[in-house]
Amino acid sequence: MFYFQSPHCSKTKHSSPLPQTKEYGSSNHSFQPTNRNPLERIAQAQMQYLPLIKADLQLLKASEKEIIDKVIDYMSDWSQNLFSQYVNNDMPLKASKNGEVIGYELVFYRELPYSLKLY
C-alpha cells in the first residue's frame, strides 16, 4: 500500500485483492544482536504479506531500491494497527474516493512524514 512517486505505480483504492498471509510458529533459531533493540519472543502468530506478482527489480535504479529498503527497515517492526493508521492518514488516499484511481499529482501535496522531499 505504498504510493511511490511514479506514474507506473498508481493503483486504484481498495481494488487489489487482500494480501496472502502465512502464520509462523515458534523458531529454534538463535539471532545475532543488531543495532536495534534485542529481539524478544513474540507470543502471537506473525503475518507475512506476499506479493501477488513477482517484481522485476531490474526496472529500478539503485537509488530507488535503496529508498525502498530504508522504508522497509523503518516500518518492519510496526504493528498492523500502526501501519494501517499511517497509510489511512496519507493525503493521496484521503483525497481519493473509494474505488477511484489515486491521482499521480497528489504525491506533490504530501507533508512530513509521508514526503521527505519538498516541492
Domain boundaries, the chain: 36-109
Per-residue pLDDT at 15:
45
> Per-10-residue mean pLDDT for the chain, 119 residues long?
44 46 51 54 67 89 92 88 91 91 90 75
Distance, CA of 75 to CA of 50 (rounded, Å):
16
Query: What is the structure's pLDDT at 109?
Result: 86
CB 3 within 8 A of CB 9: yes
The closest alpha carbon to 115, from 38, 39, 106, belongs to 106
What is the pLDDT, as a whole number, of residue 28?
52
Q: What is the pLDDT of residue 70?
A: 92
pLDDT attached to residue 111? 84
